[in-house]
Amino acid sequence: MADDLLVARGLVVSYGRRAAAPVLHDVDIRVGKGETVGIVGESGSGKTTLGRALLGLVQPTAGSIVFDGSDITAVDEHARRSLRRRMQMIFQDPMSSLNPRHTIGRILIEPLLLHGLADNRQAARALVHNVLDRVGLPRNAVDRYSFELSGGQRQRVGIARAVVLRPDFVLADEIVSGLDVSTQAQVLRLLKELTGEMHLALAFISHDLSVVRSICQRVVVMREGRVVEEGACERVFSAPQADYTRMLIDAIPLPVVDPGWLNRGSAADTSASA
């Protein structure tokens, strides 16, 4: 098992009034170094809330979150700044998370300067060229605006913006749900390659279990703010222990195949029609 990178224990999160009913109840989750962990569950089960809590974007009312040995719920501003580089997020909708008034170049260069990963613009530009090459975007994308790109290209920019900071942990929340199936596959393949190359830990939130199965090593199943099952991806999919997990798996739509497709254009073969 990989060494621990991020370990949350007993997380309780409520929105609004403290006394309001919590949306996360006593959640435990662990992400190992370089590991991809899927977080699944139906809408409203608390996946996004859990992800935001892991990044320190919502404050839990109870529990601890330890990132690489330090409790991030109790760090000073200086430590938080370095954590902000080491923990990145890729958003569901890059159209609303990429500033439409800034070029892609500016969107990628500014965080590099802010976090001190490049001493000057020229050095930052060189890092940006490398990351554009790596995510499969042309270098002249630096002069374009997000609205001039396709959905798949925009999501590549979202990935580039996260990985260019050389984080240890990335949270991806429903990042392929707005894309067509073949673009989804390309983006997932890229993400899988990058996590391997960069030894990047990934928490991958999705309501689409077949996507999770294709990319994750472990999976956490959430229901109504609790973890109902957790385990190696293959085990959870082949032998789910919780009824709820079984129900989610049974709800994965089977590929719709027209039974006649194989024979089209070869009228000679009638044996497959039974």
Ligand X SMILES: Nc1ncnc2c1ncn2[C@@H]1O[C@H](COP(=O)(O)OP(=O)(O)OP(=O)(O)O)[C@@H](O)[C@H]1O
Q: CB nearest Mg ion: which residue?
A: 48
Q: Is residue 15 a contact point for ligand X (CB under 6 A)?
A: yes
Query: C-beta of 71: minimal distance to ligand X in Å?
Result: 22
Asked if residue 156 binds ligand X (CB under 6 A), the reply is no
Residue 172 φ then ψ, to 5°: -120, 115
Q: By CB under 6 A, is residue 184 in contact with ligand X?
A: no
Is the distance from CB of 14 to CB of 43 less than 8 angstroms? no
Residue 45 engages ligand X in binding (rule: CB under 6 A): yes
The site partner of 196 among ligand X, Mg ion, none (C-beta below 5 to 8 Å per kind) is none
Residue 226 in contact with ligand X, rule: CB under 6 A = no
**Residue span 43-62 as binding mask against Mg ion, x where in contact by CB under 5 A, dash where not:** ----xx--------------
29 versus 149: smaller Cβ distance to Mg ion: 29
- Closest to Mg ion by CB, 36 vs 45, is 45
What span, in angstroms and rounded, lies between the C-alpha atoms of 247 and 41?
A: 11
What is the distance between the terminal CA atoms of the chain, rounded to a whole angstrom?
48
User: CA torsion 94→97→102→106, rounded to 10°?
Assistant: -80
Residues 139-158 that bind Mg ion (CB under 5 A): none
Binding site for Mg ion (CB under 5 A): 47-48
Binding site for ligand X (CB under 6 A): 15-16, 23, 41, 43-49, 207
